[in-house]
Structure 1
Amino acid sequence: MTVDLHHEQHGDPAMPPVLLLGSLGSNLHMWDPQIHALAPHARVIAADLRGHGGSPAPAGPYTMADLSDDVVALLDRLGLHSVHVVGLSLGGAMGQWLAAHHPQRVRTLTLMCTSARFAPAQKWIDRAAAVRANGIASIAESIVGHWFTPELAQRDPDLFARHIEMVCSTPDEGYAACCEALAEWDGRDDLARIVAPTLVIAAEQDTRTPPSVHQVIADGIAGAQFHVLSPGAHLANVEQAGAVTHLIERHLDRHATVPVDAARRAAHDVGMAVRRSVLGDAHVDRTIESTTPFTEPFQDFITRTAWGDIWARDGLDHHTRRLLTLAILTAVGNEHELDLHIRAALRAGVDPQLLVEVFLHAAVYAGVPNSNRAFALGKQALADLADANEGSSRQ
C-alpha cells in the first residue's frame, strides 16, 4: 500500500516538472541549493521519502518497489504523466527503479552519489537493527561524516550541525526499514532496460558510493553521460552545489523538448479513447486494474500502436475494422482475441447476422475448422449476453 508523500512545489506550474528524491536519512531540504536555482526555469517538486521528513513511516521492512510506488502515486495525485527525475543515493536507486519499471513516467534521469547495488546486504541489516535498538541519533554524526569532506566539515561546522539535526529528525523505523530496502535491492540487471536520457554524477571523495560504482551504472545505461566532481563526498549536491546544478540544468536543457515523449502521451490518450469505444469501459477497466509493472510496457505499447495509431486512422471506419478484425482472428485461429472481439461487437450492438457472414466468408478462404470454432465462440457469447440481459430484466 502506498503512502502520501510530503512534498513541496516551487516555480511555475506550467514549466517542465523536476522531481527531487533524496538520500537515506535526509529530508527535502537537502535539495535547497537546487530548489532555488531550478525554480525560475522549472516546476520543482521536492519530496520526503517514505519514513523521512514529513512523510508517514509505517512499520517495515520496505522494498524498493514500495518506495517507488509512493512516487508514482504522488505523480498521479499531481496529475503528472512524466517528470524529470533527479535522485541521490537512495533517491537514485528509486530513480533507477522508476526508469526501468515505469519508463513512461521518466522524461530524463539524473543519478547522483548512488549505486545499482548497495552491497554487502548484511551491513544494512545490521544498521537497521542498531537504529531500532539505539535510535538514529546514535549514528547521526557518523552518517554526516560521510556526507561531506573533512575540509568542508571543518570550514563550516554550522552546515555539519544542521545536517546532523536533519538525520536525527528521521523516524527510527523509517530509516531502519529503508536500510532493509537497500539490503535486498539489486538493480544491475535493470540498467539495460532504462531508456530515459541519463546523467550520472559521482564525487571523488564519496566513500559510500565511489566513482567506480557509478561507472557500472553509466556503462549499463545506453548513452548515459558520466561526470566526476572533486572535492565532494556523499552529499555532492550541497558541497558542489553550483557544479551539480549546472550539470542538471544542462541535462534538462539538452532534453527540454522531448517530442517522442509528447507523441507517446498523445498517442496513448487517443488510443485509450478508441480502445474504450471499441471494447467497452468495463473490459478496459479490468485490464488496467490487473496491469503489473511486468505487463505495463506491453499495455502502453498496444494502447499507443494498435489503438492510437492503426484503429485511429481515417481510412476505415471502426465498424469495418471490427469486421476485418473478426475475419483475421478467425483466419489465424487466435481464439482468445477472437472471443474478446466477438463479445465486444455484440455489446456494441453489431447484428449477429453480420458475424455469421464474416465467419462464412472466412470458412472459404481460411478453412472450415477455424470458422467452426468462431461460430462456437459466437454462439456462447450470444447465450451469455442473453443470460445477462435476462438477469438484468429480473432485477
Structure 2
Amino acid sequence: MIPDYELTGPPHAPVLVLSNSLGTDRTMWDAQVPLLSRRFRVLRYDQRGHGRTPATVGPYDLDLLGRDVVDLLDHLDIDRAHFAGLSLGGMTGMWLAANVPDRIDRLALLCTSAALGPASAWRERAEFVRANGTAAMVEPTLKRWFTAELAADENVRAKYGAMIASCDDEGYASCCEAIATMDLERWLGRITAPTLVVAGYDDPATPPRHAEAIAGAVGGARLEVVEHAAHLASVERHEQVGRLLYEHFTGDDEPVSAAGTRTDGVLSGSGGTGSGTAVRRQVLGDAHVDRARERTTEFTAPFQDFITRYAWGELWASEEMDRPTRSCVTLAILAATGNHDEFAMHVRAARRNGVEAATIRQVLMHVAVYAGVPRANSAFAVADRILSEESGRGAARENDS
C-alpha cells in the first residue's frame, strides 16, 4: 500500500521521513517543516486509517506498517532516507532500522517505546473504538498528549480533538493491535543507524524510562529529555524538538532556531564554540543558555568563551562517559565543594538527562559519607526544593541533620 504523502524542500536534498503517532495526521509536524526543509526533502505521510491514508481491514502489525514506508520509498525511487517518528511512528522507525537497515540513514525516535504493554489494554482499546468510535477517545487522549496548561487551550483542543475524531475507527483500532503485538526489544541491538531518542519529561503515555531503555539498547544512541512536554513533544516544545532534529540529521555543530537562524555566534571570533553551545543547550536547556547570553558583557565574554569551548565543547561533548553518569559526577563534586547555585542548575540538568530522583539521593548519600554531612545536608535541601517544584508539591521542607 502507498500511504498518502507530501514532499517539501529542495528536490535534490537528502530525504527525511516524518511519521505520525496514533490518532494524529502528518500535520503534527507542521512546526518543524520550515526548518527541516531548508536542508532536507521532507517526506511526510499518514499511517493507515489516519489523515488521508485510507484504512484497510485489520488487524495490523509493525511489519505491515513498516512495509508501507518501504513501498512509499520504492514508489518515489528513494534508496535511503533519514527517519523520525513519534510514538507509533517511532515504533515504525525501530522496525525499519532493524529490518531494512540499508534504507535508513539516521534515526530519531520521539516519545515512543519498544514494549508498551500490557497487550490486553491495547486490544481493549481497539474493541472500545470499534464500538464507540474515535470521537470517544478525544478527552482521555488530549490529557496524555499535552500538559494540563496546553490541554486546556481551546485552540489546541479544537485542532487536535478534531484530528483524533477524524481517524478511521478501524484504522485506529488496527494500529492499537499493531502496538499490542509488537516485539521490538529483541531487535534494538540490531539498529546501527545513528540514533537520537527524545522523551517528554511529563509524558504519561511513554515516560522517560521507555526512552532510557531504548537508548541503552541501541549502540551509541543519544538521549534527550525535553522538559514541560507530554506525549506530543513535537507540538508542545516544537522549537526545541525542531532544533534537536536539525542538529541530529545534519550533524551541524551550530544550533539553529525554528526560523532557521543561527542561535549561537555571540562569542564570534573565538572559533569552535558551536558544538559547545549545542551541548550546553542540550544539558542546561535553552532558557538557561539564552539568559547567560543576555548577561554576557565585554568583561565576561572571554570566560563564557572558555567554558563553552572546554567545559561543554570538550568535556560534556565527549562520548567516553554517558550524560547521566556525567551529571552524577558533577552533582557529587558541586555538592562536596558547596557550590549551591551551580549545584541547583545541575540538578535540573540531571533530570533533563534522565537521572532519577532516587539516583540523585544516592549521590548525596555518598557525599555525606565521603565529604561530610553538613555539605550533603545543604545539597539535600537544594535538591529537595527543585524536585518538589517539579512534582508540584510546593516549597520543600528544610532537611535537618
Quickly name the TM-score band, shorter chain normalised.
0.5 to 0.7
Kept in 2: contact 1:61–1:177 (CA 8 A): yes
1:214 aligns with 2:211: yes
1:182 match: secondary structure:
helix
- SS, match of residue 41 in structure 1: coil
1:354-373 CA-to-partner distances (Å, cap 9, x unmatched) read xxxxxxxxxxxxxxxxxxxx
Does residue 227 (structure 1) correspond to residue 203 (structure 2)? The answer is: no
Distance 1:36 1:8 in 2: 14
Higher helix share: 1
What residue in structure 1 maps to residue 201 of structure 2? 204
Kindly report which structure 2 residues correspond to 1:97-108, keeping only aligned pairs within 5 A, or say none: 97-108=95-106
Of residues 32, 41, 44, the one that matches 1:43 is 41
TM-score by length of 2: 0.62
Aligned match of 1:135: 133
The one-letter code of the counterpart of 1:88 is L
Post-superposition offset of 1:255: 8.0
After TM superposition, the structure 1 = structure 2 runs for residues 1-395 of structure 1, keeping only pairs within 5 Å, are 3-154=1-152, 156-254=153-251
Structure 2 distance, partners of 1:4, 1:109, is: 21
SS in structure 1 of the partner of residue 30 of structure 2: helix
List runs of 5+ in structure 2 lacking aligned partners. 254-401
1:153 is displaced (CA, Å) by 2.1
TM-superposition CA deviations, 1:311-337 (whole Å, max 9, x none): xxxxxxxxxxxxxxxxxxxxxxxxxxx
SS in 2 for 1:152: helix
- Report the Cα distance in structure 1 between the residues aligned to 2:119 and 2:230, rounded to whole angstroms: 22
Distance, in Å, in 1 between the alignment partners of 2:11 and 2:238 is 24
On the 8 A contact 1:108/1:255 being kept in 2, the answer is no
Quote the RMSD (CA, aligned, Å).
1.1
Q: Which moved more, 1:140-149 or 1:78-87?
A: 140-149
Q: Number of residue pairs matched?
A: 253
Q: Which amino acid aligns with 1:130?
A: F
Q: What one-letter code is carried by the residue in structure 2 that aligns with 1:197?
A: P
Structure 2 CA distance for aligned equivalents of residues 69 and 241 of structure 1: 29
Asked whether the 8 Å contact 1:4–1:56 carries over to 2, the reply is: no
Q: Which has the larger radius of gyration?
A: 1
**For the Cα contact (< 8 Å) 1:17–1:45, is it kept in 2?**
yes
Deviating beyond 4 angstroms after TM superposition, the runs of 4 or more aligned structure 1 residues are none
Cα offsets for 1:32-56 (capped at 9, x unmatched): 0111221122100110011211112
Counterpart-to-counterpart distance in 1, 2:2 and 2:19:
14
Separation (CA, whole Å) in 1 of partners of 2:136 and 2:38: 39
Given the two structures, how large is their TM-score scaled by the length of structure 1?
0.63
Change (3 A) 1:119 1:255: farther
| Contact 2:35/2:246 (8 A) holds in 1 | no
Amino acid across the alignment from 1:183? A
CA distance in 1, matches of 2:252, 2:3: 27
